[in-house]
Every structure is written in C-alpha cells, then in structure tokens.
Amino acid sequence: MSPSAPVAPSPFSAPSPRTPMQAELLDFVRRAAADEDLVASLPLDPEGRTWVRLEGPGGSEAWLIGWPPGTGTGWHDHAESVGAFLTARGELREHSVSARLPTEGWLTLELSEGLDRTRRLTAGKGRSFGRHHVHEVLNESPTEHAVSVHAYYPPLPRIRRYSRSGRVMRLEHVELPEDWQ
C-alpha cells in the first residue's frame, strides 16, 4: 500500500469498547461498499491498484481499493488479523486454501489435494475470514474496474507473500506496515 495513503473519515465506524469480531468487520465493509459517494470518490488508475485508508470499527484497519482489469494480489495472508472484504463494484475472484498453514518454521510446503476453494464475489458479495487465511484476490475482467472494501483487526502486523506452483506453496517475503501505509 502507499506510504502516504490518507485516512478518510468514515461515518460507518463508531468507537467500540471491545474488539471487533469478523461479523462486525463484514457489516462495516457491507455498509461502506453501499455508500455510492464513498465508492465514487476513489480515484481509479488504468495501470495499477489504488486505495484510500478508512477508519474501521473499534480501531480496525480498513481500505477502499480499486482494481484495474487483470490485476490481483498474489497469494498472501494477513498474519494474526481477522478480516472481511466485499466487492462494491465489478467482480472479484478469491482463490483460497481451506487449511490453516503453519505460521513459522517453513519456506516450502506441498499442499494436500482438495484444499483449494474459489469464490466469485460480484457487487454486494463478500466474506469474512480468520487468522492466517491464505488467499489471492483477482479482478479477472479484461475491461472493467472493480472496487472493494477491506477491514482487518488487529491492524495488519504483517503480510506474508507466497508463490505457488501447483500444490507447492513457497514463502517469498514478509511485508511490514511501513511497506504499505
């Protein structure tokens, strides 16, 4: 993410006296994605993803993200954070691994068969996920931008990036908050 991403105030988050749960994060992204003015305010770039940081509920980290045609995240996880995301405009596809991978002590893993999951997330569709959820998110449209809203709690301590070839997944590098904020 951008080192100078401004934080946009959000009318969707209220101070929370407790830690937001996955359902609350999903409710937040659903309400934010339904705000047509907020979604329309995101500048879109034909070459690369764009984003604006939002104030999430209960101290969570939230982002409004624009996806040009043919872009994606690559395989990654959000470490100890739980999260939710929802497509506000266009369509995204999520590929994920349905098993929790070890969090430390490995560089390469061979996954068992049957662990892959794919979700098609059209406008208004989203999902929440738990800690260490490994996935990639793609805008596979050849012509249309997609826009989505994401929220994580606790704020992202790190993102682990993976490469994948068939059933073999390899840890490539670890990003820290200063790499994207």
Q: Decide if 160 is inside a domain.
A: yes
How many domains would you assign to the chain?
A: 1
Split at pLDDT 50, 70, 90, the class of 71 is very high
Q: Is 165 exposed, middle or buried (0-12, 13-18, 19+ CB in 10 A)?
A: exposed
- Type of residue numbered 8: A
Is 176 domain-assigned? no
Q: What is the CATH number of the domain that holds 45?
A: 2.60.120.10
The pLDDT of residue 102: 87
Question: Is residue 20, in this structure, part of any structural domain at all?
Answer: yes
165: containing domain: 7-170
178 occurs within a structural domain: no
Q: Kindly state the helix (H) or strand (E) to which residue 28 belongs, with its residue range.
A: helix 22-33
Whole-number Å distance between alpha carbons of 179 and 5: 11
Residue 179 lies in a domain: no
Q: What is the mean pLDDT of the chain?
A: 91
Question: Phi first, then psi: what are they for 29, rounded to 5°?
Answer: -65, -35
Dihedral of CA 29/180/58/44: which sign? negative
Q: Does 175 fall in a domain?
A: no
Please state, in angstroms and rounded to a whole number, the distance separating the CA atoms of residues 171 and 47: 27
Please write the tens of the pLDDT for every residue from 119-176.
999 999 999 999 989 999 999 999 999 999 999 999 999 999 999 999 999 999 999 9
- The reply to whether 148 falls in a domain is yes
Domain assignment present for residue 101? The answer is yes
Look up the pTM and report it: 0.87
Residue bearing the bigger pLDDT, 110 or 102: 110
Query: What span, in angstroms and rounded, lies between the C-alpha atoms of 174 and 160?
Result: 4
Specify the 3-state DSSP secondary structure of 143.
Answer: coil
Q: Is the Cβ–Cβ distance between 52 and 35 less than 8 Å?
A: no
1 pLDDT band, cuts 50/70/90, is very low
Higher pLDDT, 180 or 23: 23
pLDDT of residue 7: 53
- Tell me the per-residue pLDDT of 83-108, one tens digit each, with 9 for 90 and over: 999 999 999 999 999 988 888 889 99
- The answer to whether the bond into 154 is cis (omega within 30° of 0) is yes
Alpha-carbon distance of 62 to 8, in angstroms, equals 10
